[in-house]
Amino acid sequence: MMDVLKELDRAGAVLQDRHFVYTSGKHGSAYINMDPLFPNVGVVSQFADMLVKPFAGQVDTVIAPATGGIVLAVLAAQALSREKYPVAATWADKHDDAFIVERAGFAENLSGRRVLVVEDLLNTGGSVEKVRREVERHSGQLVGVSVICNRGNLTADRLGVPRLEALASVNFEAIPADECPLCASAVPIVEDISHGAEYRATHPDYAGGYITVISS
């Protein structure tokens, strides 16, 4: 069995000993950025195979939130299609604070079908929840959610889904901004990953300043 966390670390997806602002608004010193993983098609394909294995024979359509989940949706559907019947790949496009199924033929592949949601990284679960609602809105039968990494300690009950599978789970400490020791020590905030840029927009005078790690 592939060591998922080791592969993520090898790809440069695991960032530590920095200062991040998370989706929740809390701060912490570690983050998983999946972007460096996706150019490695071989590893991503193996991850897709692992994502769908618990749901083999139970899925007609795979859906993911765009844009990060599109590759996973296609590869996951391809992996499931190696069985006895073809499985469709769809995704929901982001519009402001919502994910909407709007592309030609996508809704038809949800209605009355058994649907699996796939995602790379599960933080607050907000994106998955919005996609779940779209599946329900289009009369799909949700069979579960499968993610590469569960970073938010989420459960199926908290997501409101029948089943949740994760290839790996991590527990990074997340601290309210007004209690953050990194802020107290004026550690620079990473602004080009997660929500550092939004934080800078509302806190331009933060004493520690801001840094970028993708372009540096």
Structural domains of the chain, ranges and CATH numbers in brackets: 4-211 (3.40.50.2020)
Question: What's the confidence (pLDDT) of residue 215?
Answer: 63
CA–CA separation, 102 vs 215, rounded Å?
Answer: 34
In single-letter form, the type of residue at position 127 comes to S
In terms of Cβ atoms closer than 10 Å to its own Cβ (0-12, 13-18, 19+), residue 163 is middle
Q: Are 152 and 194 in contact (CB under 8 A)?
A: no
Question: What's the confidence (pLDDT) of residue 2?
Answer: 78
Question: What's the confidence (pLDDT) of residue 82?
Answer: 81
Dihedral, CA atoms, 140, 83, 165, 72, nearest 10 degrees? -80
Q: Mind listing the pLDDT tens digit of every residue in the chain (216 residues)?
A: 579 999 999 999 999 999 999 988 999 999 999 999 999 999 999 999 999 999 999 999 999 999 889 999 999 999 999 877 899 999 999 998 899 999 999 999 999 999 999 999 998 899 999 999 999 999 999 999 999 999 989 999 999 999 999 999 999 999 999 999 999 999 999 999 999 999 999 999 999 999 999 864
pTM exceeds cut of 0.85: yes
Question: What's the confidence (pLDDT) of residue 46?
Answer: 96
Cis peptide leading into 155, omega within 30 of 0?
A: no
CA–CA separation, 167 vs 50, rounded Å?
Answer: 7
Question: What's the confidence (pLDDT) of residue 1?
Answer: 56
Question: What's the confidence (pLDDT) of residue 152?
Answer: 84
Question: What's the confidence (pLDDT) of residue 64?
Answer: 98
